[in-house]
Amino acid sequence: MENIEDFQFPHTFVLLGASGDLAKKKIYPTIWYLYRDNLLPKNTKFIGYARTKQTIQEVREKSKKYMKIRPGDESKLEEFWDCNDYIAGSYDKRIDYELLNQHISKYEKGLVANRIFYLAVPPTVFQDVTVNIKNACISIKGYTRVIIEKPFGRDDVSSEALSNHLACLFREEQLYRIDHYLGKEMVQNLMTIRFANQIFSPSWNRENIASVLISFKEPFGTEGRGGYFDDFGMVRDVMQNHLLQILSLVAMEKPVTLNPNDIRDEKVKVLRHIKPIELNDILVGQYVGNPNGQGEEKLGYLDDPTVPKDSVTPTYAVAALYINNARWEGVPFILRCGKALNERKAEVRVQYKDVPGDIFEGHTKRNELVVRVQPGEALYLKLMCKSPGMKFDLMETELDLTYSMRYKETDVPDAYERLILDVFTGSQMHFVRNDELKEAWRIFTPVLKQLEEQQVKPIPYVYGSRGPPEADSKLAEYDFKYSGSYKWQKPTMS
């Protein structure tokens, strides 16, 4: 890990694919926030690189509407753009990278200088870009780190080919594979909740927990970008990476230390205990238009002109995974994700078993620990209490830690901000290691192949609904009980 004193040396952050969507919507705003908050090394130069011929002024214009500028930030913003350059060049010609190298070198005064390359480029040019960085742009007087974005292949074979390709060019310590869910506040909090609280440790196991439900919901569909999505589908887009990463943090054993490799060793270990998903343990869905909806909601996935008319690509999926170890044998971990649903939500629900030896005539409901990742970070534990007053009735209630109420002054940073800063400080704790990726594909590849080879028809669900009704029965099959009786009362502040 880099010492903070190293922040005195020049750093260059090269954004490849600087003309693209991710760059303008996410990466430029993120580096601006880090710069604005003085979190980066003082002497950092940012260079955008892509094929499009444009000026840095044009890059600035395109990213403008995605960057929050607070009153008083104006001069800092000018300073930020003064530290930015843009160079147009091909992705496949070494000569262009040699020119890029010369350009970077101009700013590298002194004995030490570090370089970070962010690859916001499509998979089609990934190989060329990495080879050319290695051949022409490696730092000769400091570190070189490479940040890469998914997709990391589309099955076990293609992912392994990609990993082997990268391993020929860079050491694992140089590679920062982004799964942006690992940068989210409550995902990072999972380890703290579990390992810094004695109250949870003794019950975090098959003796006490009935099932774990990890959900991702989005209220919009592919909106004209289905052409890209159709090749991947919901399982590859969200379940195999974001949800499986969350699962590994919920289920792993306590790491030896907080060292990134100790943590990642435990994540890999728990993944190795999971057998590949079987076809009857997954249910897939695809959204159809809602005739009573507004605008986009009227359109189904197959109405997207970039999607083949007979596509069976899932836009929704529920799958149950079993961890065959002493802690978790028999406990279903249910992963559930979908687009064009009724709400935006990502959460973990740890559902405890029914109370044994019931003396309350069947009125007790299961305890549930809910970790809400978004929107609005919260941690709440649903539990039974006596209803206040003279009666001796049971009541469902909760212990509630809602961040917006408890930590009013704290601005929770965006996932990308944390992760990009981690690359500068050299912490790989929240990045995906090669062997984690391999395990993820081992678990998912066979069922993805079966779904595709057998052309399994996804169950239709209406845009804006909670998903296919059959999914609820699937949850019940995996011992997730929904009673519908819990009513939350938003606390009122006096």
Closest distance between ligand NDP and the C-beta of residue 146, in Å? 37
Per partner kind, with CB cut-offs from 5 to 8 A, the member of ligand BG6, ligand NDP, none near residue 92 is none
Q: Which residue blocks in 46-142 are alpha helix, DSSP H?
A: 56-64, 74-82, 94-105, 123-132
Interface with ligand NDP includes 218 (CB under 6 A)? no
Site for ligand NDP in 381-400 (CB under 6 A): 398, 400
Per partner kind, with CB cut-offs from 5 to 8 A, the member of ligand BG6, ligand NDP, none near residue 398 is ligand NDP
Binding residue for ligand NDP, selected from 54, 158, 466, 479, defined by CB under 6 A: 466
Size of the site for ligand NDP (CB under 6 A): 13
Interface with ligand NDP includes 380 (CB under 6 A)? yes
Distance (Å, rounded) from C-alpha 291 to C-alpha 299? 8
Token representation of residue 449: 């192949």
What does the H/E/C string look like for 298-361? HCCHHHCCCCCCCCCCCCEEEEEEEECCCCCCCCEEEEEEECCECCCEEEEEEEECCCCCCCCC
- ∠ at Cα 318 (313, 320), nearest 5°? 130
Closest distance between ligand NDP and the C-beta of residue 398, in Å? 5
List the x/- string, 190-229, binding to ligand BG6 by CB under 6 A: ----------------------------x-----------
Measure CA 459 to chain center: 26
Residue 181 phi/psi, 5-degree rounding, is: -65, -25
Interface with ligand BG6 includes 237 (CB under 6 A)? yes
Out of 165, 242, 273, 430, which one is annotated catalytic? Answer: 242
Per partner kind, with CB cut-offs from 5 to 8 A, the member of ligand BG6, ligand NDP, none near residue 488 is ligand NDP
Token representation of residue 154: 């589309």
Per partner kind, with CB cut-offs from 5 to 8 A, the member of ligand NDP, ligand BG6, none near residue 378 is ligand NDP
Closest distance between ligand NDP and the C-beta of residue 490, in Å? 7
* 5 SS3 class: helix
Interface with ligand NDP includes 370 (CB under 6 A)? yes
Interface with ligand NDP includes 185 (CB under 6 A)? no
Question: What is the biggest distance separating any 2 CA atoms in the chain, rounded to whole angstroms?
Answer: 83
In Å, how far are 132, 135, 243, 402 from 95, measured between CA atoms? 9, 10, 41, 54
List the x/- string, 22-61, binding to ligand NDP by CB under 6 A: ----------------------------------------
Binding residue for ligand NDP, selected from 402, 425, 427, 465, defined by CB under 6 A: 402
User: Looking at beta carbons only, is 20 or 219 nearer to ligand NDP?
Assistant: 219
Distance (Å, rounded) from C-alpha 350 to C-alpha 163? 34
User: Looking at beta carbons only, is 309 or 408 nearer to ligand NDP?
Assistant: 408
Site for ligand NDP in 196-215 (CB under 6 A): 215
Contact stretch for ligand NDP (CB under 6 A) within 66-74, 258-266, 310-318, 482-490 = 482-490
User: Looking at beta carbons only, is 98 or 472 nearer to ligand NDP?
Assistant: 472
Binding residue for ligand NDP, selected from 337, 378, 419, 437, defined by CB under 6 A: 378
Q: Residue number with the shortest CB distance to ligand BG6?
A: 237
Interface with ligand BG6 includes 230 (CB under 6 A)? no
- Please name the residue that has the structure tokens 């101009």: 106
What sign results for the dihedral spanned by CA atoms 160, 162, 164, 166? negative
11 is catalytic: no
Closest distance between ligand BG6 and the C-beta of residue 344, in Å? 8
Q: In which region does residue 305 sit, left (phi positive, over 0), alpha (psi from -120 to 50) or beta (all else)?
A: alpha
User: Looking at beta carbons only, is 98 or 414 nearer to ligand BG6?
Assistant: 414
Q: In which region does residue 361 sit, left (phi positive, over 0), alpha (psi from -120 to 50) or beta (all else)?
A: left
Binding residue for ligand NDP, selected from 66, 195, 200, 482, defined by CB under 6 A: 482
- Asked whether the beta carbons of 179 and 241 are under 8 A apart, the reply is yes
Residues 6+ away with beta carbon under 8 Å from 165: 127, 130
For the chain, give the number of residues. 494
| Secondary element (H or E) of residue 241 | none
CB atoms within 10 A of CB 375: 11
Closest distance between ligand BG6 and the C-beta of residue 180, in Å? 6
Interface with ligand NDP includes 488 (CB under 6 A)? yes
Peptide bond into 375 cis (omega under 30): yes
* 115 SS3 class: strand
Interface with ligand BG6 includes 417 (CB under 6 A)? no
Active-site residue list: 242
Q: Which residues bind ligand NDP (CB under 6 A)?
A: 215, 370, 378, 380, 398, 400, 402, 466, 472, 475, 482, 486, 488
Q: Which residues bind ligand BG6 (CB under 6 A)?
A: 180, 218, 237-238, 346
